[in-house]
Structure 1
Amino acid sequence: MLFAILFTFWRFVQIVTLIPTMGMLAYFVNGYVQLNQLTPNYILVLFIVSVLALAWSIYTLFSYHRSSSNATFVAVVDLLFVGAFIGAVWALRFIAQADCTHITTGDPYDISFGPFGSASATNWDVNVDKTCAMLKACFAFGIMNCVFFFVTSILACLHGDRSSSGDRVTYYRETHSHRHGHRSSRSPNSRHSSHSHRRVYV
């Protein structure tokens, strides 16, 4: 029960962060396609990884019973996505040093309060580079999903080990009970009872 709650929670967090990542990167891919230009690798790699990861997260979330029975396989695939996101984030690493926001000061002006005097104020202009901000957000979401998929991989791995140990215990009990029943059927008492029920006709 605890595995189901934690697994569902982290899968939901992954989906919530992957949807805007895929949407923003799709915006860039569409822009390059319309200009008939090749999409840069730092955008294309993260876009492909995000699409595959989103499809995998939705599939494993809505088919939870199948995912829990194949927990080891889910753990391996999630670990592969961790490596894929690390590579995609590394390709986009240059955006971490970019300054996407520019703050400039305008001309000062005076505000009059009548008989109470006046005050001097200054305009502050904030300019945000949309392209830079979107790429930096995708970079941040990529780092977050590295952590998220690592967590779900550990959870699935632990659940798989527990399930396999439970199967081994069940198999041992069934084998032991079968052997015990087989031995009891060959006991001298059962042989004697089978002979005692024979009828002799003269």
Structure 2
Amino acid sequence: MKQSSKEHELSTKEHILKVTHDYILQTGFEAVTTRKIAALANVNIAMVNYYFGSKDKLLNETIKTILNSYKGCFSILDQADLPAKKRMEIFLTEYARTFQKYPELLRQIVRHSSFPFDSQFEFAHFVKTMGFPKVTAVLKEITNELDSDKLILTSVQIFGALLFPILMEPLIGPMFHCPMPDLEQQVAEILSKMS
């Protein structure tokens, strides 16, 4: 059965996105060039430009795909059939694991102004309006804390404790001469501090 023109366009565009995603996973964002992606995707540069218009737009679409996987982690917090602490444990582990795959993206998000892609701002809006409220709601279940300021502070501290080692991983090992514990251990340690 012959592919329609629209299906072929979609699959070529998706293929370019996947190649870009895989390349970022291996080398980071700084190494991405339109020429390199075109070569890896086995298409010409004009085809990349046709679908995305520029390297920045290609990166924006790729980052959007990556950040959507982070959004998916928040749905774990909605699984009411699991105890609140278990939901938080699974969420934190999956969330940090996703960032662990793309530590450069986390560093770029922290440096916000040097990497101003629309997808980054969309993600920040999602976290602020939907993600963070889910986290604080589950924390409320775990701790029985009613003060929203304390719940927000606890959330910030949890994310800081979890994401800071990912940000600092290149320095932590050589500085302290010890490997970081795995994510499950880190999350268990963070959650053990909650009542």
Q: Do they superpose with TM above 0.5?
A: no
- The TM-score with structure 2 as length reference comes to 0.32
- The TM-score with structure 1 as length reference comes to 0.31
Relative CO higher for 1 or 2, CA cutoff 8 Å, sep ≥ 6?
1
Which structure is higher in strand share? 1
Larger radius of gyration: 1
